[in-house]
Amino acid sequence: MNNKGQIIAIGGGGFGRNPNQRIIEQYILDQSDTEIPKVVFIPTASAEDKAYIVNFYACFNKLNCAASHITFFERTPRLDGIMNKADVIYVGGGNTKSMLAVWREWKFDKLLRKAYNRGAILSGVSAGAICWFEQGITDSWASNLNVLNCLGFLSGSCCPHYDSEMARRPSVHKFLEDGKLKSGYAIEDGAALHFNNGKFHKALAFLNDAKVYFVEAKDNVIFEEPLVMNSL
């Protein structure tokens, strides 16, 4: 496959919960044309949680790749030098709104776009899934879920944790009914979406019977279309 413009968005799960499983992580690496891809972890949304970073290395050091990570809250390296060589970029979960604010301050969003355009594989879970879309459903606010404008590399909206957090489904439906949310994808934990050149490529299940839905409002009626899942 031509790897230009690939994005893999994960609804929940992966090495943050179980670094020994490595199913979706191996799939991401398999999409690279590079024999030993350079994988860069971006843990900004978790405020660079140390245990999360440890889990990243516990997972990816067991795979055929060269793993590293970028920090913004300690002494930050030359970002362009790292990003220009990255084959795979993996964005972790956490507070999406704060993550995007930090990225924009460092102009990191522009480096991500540049990496995407040259063919690096963009991936991530939760905050690292919704950030690529025009809009995402986020729990960045403690009080309630909200619609957040994101990077817009992919059209439409995205909601992670669609099965594991009870407020997700009714919130998506309400935002659609109110016209605040664009039609888009709802991803359960253990599932992911793979896009190629901005177009939907396939839906993936790496845990149990995880599902992905395309959700939209038509004449004030909510439609959830379950996508055909490809088991890993």
- Annotated active-site residue 173? The verdict is no
CB count in 10 Å sphere of residue 34: 13
Q: How far is CA 123 from the centre of its chain?
A: 5
Catalytic, out of 69, 123, 157, 161: 161
Q: How far is CA 127 from the centre of its chain?
A: 6
CB 201 within 8 A of CB 230: no
- Annotated active-site residue 183? The verdict is no
Catalytic, out of 32, 46, 123, 126: 126
Task: Give the Cα separation of 191 and 14 in Å (integer).
Answer: 10
Handedness of CA 10, 16, 18, 19 (dihedral sign): positive
* Residue partners of 213: CB distance under 8 A and separation at least 6: 162, 185, 186, 224, 225, 226, 227
CB 119 within 8 A of CB 84: no
User: If you count DSSP H runs as helices and E runs as strands, how many of each does the chain have, helices first?
Assistant: 7, 14
* Residue partners of 73: CB distance under 8 A and separation at least 6: 47, 48
Q: Which residues pair with 11 in a beta bridge?
A: none
Residues acting as catalytic residues: 126, 161
